Structures are given as structure tokens and as C-alpha cells.
């Protein structure tokens, strides 16, 4: 539909998929499965980790939700063609060629979204490949199937007999034993962060003492005589540890010549990096040790890194309304993540590893951007400049808020200033993204116009592509325009309550926000001229025009109030 705005993505949406395949020795098989994943356009294969003794390979890839199922299906399909479970031997528990395939929300998606993806994949695998599928973890339809270990009990060798039971019918696929492929467990789970905290000791015993104190499972309870306490059923009574969603063990690492507390954080929304680090530090101090740093094994999402940066800035009494880069830097230094080897955010943080390749306007130097703008190329143009003006307004407001936060004598305003700084930073990031989106939208129009138009069918497809591209090119400046009232509201707060020494900065924030609004309004109007007379195009045109007119009217009133107030106060 013309009015459908789903094609315009204003935030990154990423899902991680971590399938485990029952082959860890045959490189040709492993490479073929990996190639099947990488062949899906828009999917990023991040890691292939084979194990010879386990005869198992774990692959990690990320993609937007609309692409992830296809990549997972192609991998499972390829594994079903190349792996024969009748011949498989290995140390790791398994029951299928593709043993387990979880979806993990990374950014811009919910757990509920991942459950739907698991169900979609399960249905396809069962119907198209004839493989029995069991849903687990957050996607489980039965409480008894939440645990992977419970489903996999008895492994492949017990599967044929287990499937004869009415209690073990698959969620998808045939209710009969597939001797070649076995069965596949598909689900949705939280991101698991493998995190090791370094200690200034060689003692594995002391490291394990900390692990027992912090892990959710805790340790066995003992009575005054030191004997393990049992309940009425003869089960060991446990004393839970201090951290939820935390698994931990202490070990000694020869390579580092020190002991570590090795931690798996199974839900960083419950227990984050900073909470684990601080608790291990507290426990270590009680035992006469100290924490010297930590390391993240594999990848980590952006969110727990930002949360850690915010946590340590707050402990320093500083504002958290700062750029993401500063939050990441604070987290890196506070957690000592580069003690054992350099922590490179671009290689370790999921969202940064999958940044779209190619030149981004937002990453250019100021001089390079201006030169690019001044070239004969029609893009970037006024739309990108309007979005840039909006980001400059947000940056100025954030600056004034942070200066007010730090200003002696203005301490009562700190909570409010921090809130405005954080909101301004979020708007800044969004608008910087739209700087590039506007140029890409213009390029999409050119690409649509270049499509072949020899046959009737080709002309029809070209017309549809042009309309879709025009919609996108209209929606992006309209989105910029709709952010301007928020920018002006924050700018007014800075004019009225901010550090008096920064009054002119707050005023300029209002001026460039107004410019962003007027520029975006122009771009909406000129793009609306490209629509035809079909009912859908007319409706889209009308709705966008009404919204743009109402917004720009509000913007002009707000901007004039700010300008008049700044002039009055300066005078």
C-alpha cells in the first residue's frame, strides 16, 4: 500500500541466531553450512566455532527479524543433507543434525518477537524438511520443555522410543522418528554473556568460593557440624547466591597466570556486567583479594555496555546524558576490559560489528561533508541538511543541560538536566541516522526510475517501485519535521532553566531546530508533488500534507517564543 510506512526503518532491529550442528570434524560440511547462512543477503555470519572432541559446531549470525528465519532454515536444510545422525559420535549431548537453534533478541526486537520467529522456523522445518521440532526456553508450549536438557534426555539414541509416547509428540513436523536428521530443538532465549572477572590470585579455590557466593544456584547448606543439610525428600538444601540469572565457577588460567571467576549472565536485564563486576569485587575484598579487570568472551550487546557506562558515571556524580561512545569508553575502563587483551568495541559489540558497510555521511569529517554537499551530486541535499540541523540542535541542548548539571549552585536541577540531556542525545542519534536515510531515499528514487519499462509487466513493477520510493522519500523528512517540536521543547527548557552563561547556545539550539523544521517541510512538499491520482496516492498525499501543515504551524509558534525570550533576556 502507498501509505504503508513499514519499509522505512528508523531504528536498527537485530536478532541473533546460534544454531548448534552435530559435526565438528569435517571442514567441508561445516563450510557448506556456513556458506548457506552467508548466502542470505543482509545476514552477517559472526562466528563459526567447531569442536573435534565434541563433534559439534556452534555458529553465530545476526540479521533483521525479516531475514533471520530464512538463513536459519537454509542452514538446517543443508545440515539435513550432509549430516547422518546414524554415524554421529561425540562427547556433547545431541539428538539431531541441527541439535538446537535459539533466537536471541539483540536490539529493537522483543522476546515475543523471537518466540514468533521460533514458531515460524519450526513450522517450516517440520513441514518442508520432515524433521520433528520441539520448542524450548521462552518459546516452549509446555513447562516440561523449557529446559533443553530435559528435552534432550537420552539423546539421539533414545529418540525413537521416546517419540512413541503421547507425551513426547513434537510441536511441529511428523510424529515419527527421522533416523538421518534426528530432531531439532528451536526456541527463544535471552542473550547469554560469557564474562570472566580477573583476580590477583592463583588460587582456584578462592575464585570458586566467590563463584559459589554469587551464582544463583548457590551452594549446599551445612549445619553447625559442617554436614550437608537435606530436606524431607532427601534433597540437598541450597543457599542461593547473591546474583540472579548468574552461573559461575572459579578456575585458574595458565595463560594468564591468575584465577578468574567465570560467569554466564543468562539475562543481562536482571544482572548486568556492572552488577556482576561490583559484586565479585565486594566478595574478593572480603577474602583479602582484589579484582584487577575482566574480559568478555565472544560478543556483547550494546545495551549492557551502555548500562555499565551509565552506572559508573553516576557513581562519579556525573551526567549520563552523553554520547554512546563516551558511555562505552567509561564501561571499558571501569570494568578493565582491556587488561588481558585489547577490547575493540567495533569487533566485540554486536550492533557495531554489523554496521552497514560503505560511506556514511554521519561519519564524515565536517570538511568532507561540506565538500560532498558542494559537489555536483544531487544527494546529499536539503533533506540531509535539515536532519543535520536537527541533530545540531539536540547536541547544543545536551551541552547546555550538561553544563547546567555541573554548575556549582545549580545542584537542585541535576535530575531534570540529566533527563533532558539523555533525551537530547537520543534525538541526536535518531536525526544523524536520518541524515543518511534521506540520501538513500533519494538514491532509491533514481534506482526505481532506471528499472526497465519495455513490457507491460515491467512498467507495472517500475511504477510500484517509484511510488514506494516516493513514499519513503516523503516519510523521512516528515519524520524529521515531527521531531522538531521535541527539539524546541528541550531548547525552551534550556533557555528558561539552563546555565545563564549558555543562554545564547540554547537560543541557537532553537534556531537550528526551526531551520530543521522548515527545511524538512520544504522536502515533504516537493516530494508530495510526485504522486499521481490513484485513490491510495491521493489519500497518502492528503494525510502527509495535513500532518506537515499542522506540525510546521506549531514549530513556528514555538520557535518565535524561544527567539523572543532569548532576545529579551540578552537585552
The number of residues making up the chain comes to 571
Is position 438 annotated as part of the catalytic site? Answer: yes
**Helix residue spans in 198-317 (DSSP H):** 204-214, 273-286, 302-315
Element (H, E) at 112: helix 111-129
Q: How many CA atoms lie within 13 A of 494 on its CB side?
A: 36
Among residues 57, 91, 85, 55, the alpha carbon closest in space to that of 157 is found at 85
75, 36 Cβ separation under 8 angstroms: yes
- Residue in 92, 360, 489, 554 annotated catalytic: 92
Q: Name, in order, each residue with C-beta under 8 angstroms of 364's C-beta and a sequence gap of 6 or more.
A: 372
How far is Cα 232 from Cα 221, in angstroms, rounded to an integer? 14
- Residue in 278, 438, 505, 514 annotated catalytic: 438
Helices vs strands, H then E, count in the chain: 17, 13
506, 397 Cβ separation under 8 angstroms: yes
Q: What angle do CA 295, 296, 297 make, to 5 degrees?
A: 115
Distance of CA 474 to the CA centre of its chain: 27
How far is Cα 76 from Cα 72, in angstroms, rounded to an integer? 6
- Other C-beta atoms closer than 10 Å to the C-beta of 570 total 9
DSSP 258-279: EEEEEEEES-TTTS-HHHHHHH
Q: Which neighbouring-strand residues pair with 333?
A: none
Strands 133-137 and 184-188: parallel
How far is Cα 51 from Cα 491, in angstroms, rounded to an integer? 57
C-alpha torsion angle, residues 199, 297, 50, 66 (rounded to 10): 160
64: left (phi over 0), alpha (psi -120 to 50) or beta: beta
Residue with cell 540578552: 570
Cell numbers given for 468: 514506494
How far is Cα 492 from Cα 510, in angstroms, rounded to an integer? 7
Q: Which sign does the torsion angle of CA 465, 467, 470, 476 carry? A: negative
Distance of CA 332 to the CA centre of its chain: 18
How far is Cα 345 from Cα 376, in angstroms, rounded to an integer? 36
Active site residues: 92, 438
Amino acid at each position: 500500500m502507498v501509505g504503508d510506512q513499514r519499509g522505512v526503518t528508523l531504528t536498527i532491529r537485530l536478532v541473533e541466531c546460534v544454531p548448534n550442528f552435530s559435526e565438528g570434524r569435517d571442514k567441508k560440511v561445516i563450510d557448506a553450512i556456513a556458506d548457506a547462512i552467508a548466502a542470505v543477503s543482509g545476514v552477517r555470519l559472526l562466528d563459526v566455532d567447531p569442536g573435534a572432541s565434541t563433534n559439534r559446531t556452534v555458529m553465530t549470525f545476526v540479521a533483521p527479524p525479516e531475514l533471520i528465519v530464512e538463513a536459519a532454515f537454509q542452514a538446517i536444510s543443508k545440515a539435513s543433507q550432509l549430516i547422518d545422525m546414524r554415524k554421529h559420535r561425540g562427547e556433547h549431548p545431541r539428538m539431531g543434525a541441527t541439535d538446537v537453534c535459539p533466537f536471541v533478541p539483540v536490539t529493537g526486537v522483543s522476546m515475543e518477537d523471537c518466540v514468533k520467529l521460533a514458531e515460524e522456523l519450526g513450522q517450516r522445518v517440520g513441514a518442508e524438511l520432515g524433521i520433528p521440532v520441539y520448542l524450548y526456553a521462552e518459546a516452549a508450549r509446555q513447562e516440561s520443555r523449557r529446559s533443553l536438557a530435559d528435552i534432550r534426555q537420552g539423546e539421539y539414541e533414545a529418540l525413537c522410543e521416546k517419540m512413541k509416547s503421547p507425551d513426547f509428540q513434537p510441536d511441529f513436523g511428523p510424529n515419527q522418528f527421522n533416523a538421518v536428521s534426528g530432531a531439532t530443538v528451536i526456541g527463544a532465549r535471552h542473550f547469554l554473556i560469557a564474562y570472566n572477572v580477573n583476580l590477583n590470585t592463583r588460587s582456584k579455590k578462592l575464585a570458586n568460593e566467590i563463584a559459589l557466593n554469587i551464582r544463583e544456584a548457590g551452594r549446599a547448606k551445612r549445619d553447625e557440624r559442617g554436614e550437608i543439610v537435606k530436606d524431607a525428600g532427601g534433597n540437598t538444601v541450597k543457599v542461593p547466591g547473591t546474583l540472579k540469572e548468574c552461573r559461575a565457577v572459579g578456575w585458574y588460567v595458565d595463560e594468564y597466570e591468575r584465577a578468574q571467576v567465570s560467569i554466564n549472565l543468562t539475562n543481562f536485564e536482571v544482572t548486568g556486567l556492572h552488577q556482576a563486576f561490583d559484586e565479585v569485587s565486594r566478595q574478593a575484598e572480603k577474602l583479602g583479594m582484589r579484582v584487577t579487570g575482566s574480559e568478555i568472551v565472544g560478543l556483547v550487546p550494546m545495551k549492557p555496555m551502555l548500562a555499565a557506562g551509565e552506572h559508573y558515571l553516576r557513581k562519579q556524580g556525573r551526567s549520563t546524558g552523553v554520547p554512546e561512545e563516551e558511555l562505552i569508553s567509561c564501561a571499558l575502563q571501569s570494568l578493565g576490559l582491556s587488561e588481558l587483551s585489547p577490547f575493540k568495541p567495533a569487533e566485540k559489540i554486536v550492533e557495531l560489528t554489523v554496521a552497514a558497510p560503505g560511506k556514511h555521511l554521519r561519519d564524515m569529517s565536517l570538511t568532507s561533508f561540506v565538500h560532498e554537499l558542494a559537489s555536483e551530486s544531487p544527494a546529499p541535499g536539503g533533506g540531509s541538511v535539515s536532519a543535520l540541523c536537527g541533530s545540531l540542535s539536540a547536541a547544543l541542548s545536551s551541552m547546555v543541560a550538561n553544563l547546567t548539571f555541573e554548575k556549582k549552585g545549580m545542584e537542585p536541577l541535576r535530575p531534570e538536566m540529566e533527563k533532558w540531556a539523555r533525551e537530547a542525545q537520543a534525538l541526536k542519534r535518531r536525526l544523524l541516522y536520518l541524515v543518511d536515510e534521506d540520501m538513500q531515499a533519494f538514491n532509491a528514487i533514481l534506482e526505481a526510475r532506471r528499472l526497465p519499462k519495455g513490457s507491460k509487466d515491467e512498467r507495472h513493477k517500475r511504477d510500484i517501485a517509484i511510488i514506494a520510493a516516493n513514499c519513503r522519500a516523503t516519510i523521512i523528512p516528515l519524520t524529521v519535521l515531527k521531531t522538531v517540536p521535541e527539539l524546541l521543547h528541550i531548547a525552551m527548557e534550556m533557555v528558561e532553566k539552563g546555565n545563564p552563561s549558555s543562554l545564547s547556545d540554547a537560543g541557537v539550539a532553537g534556531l537550528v531546530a526551526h531551520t530543521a523544521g522548515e527545511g524538512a517541510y520544504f522536502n515533504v512538499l516537493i516530494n508530495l508533488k510526485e504522486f499521481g491520482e490513484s485513490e491510495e496516492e491521493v489519500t497518502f498525499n492528503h494525510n502527509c500534507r495535513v500532518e506537515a501543515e499542522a506540525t510546521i504551524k506549531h514549530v513556528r509558534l514555538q520557535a518565535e517564543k524561544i527567539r523572543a525570550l532569548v532576545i529579551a533576556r540578552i537585552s
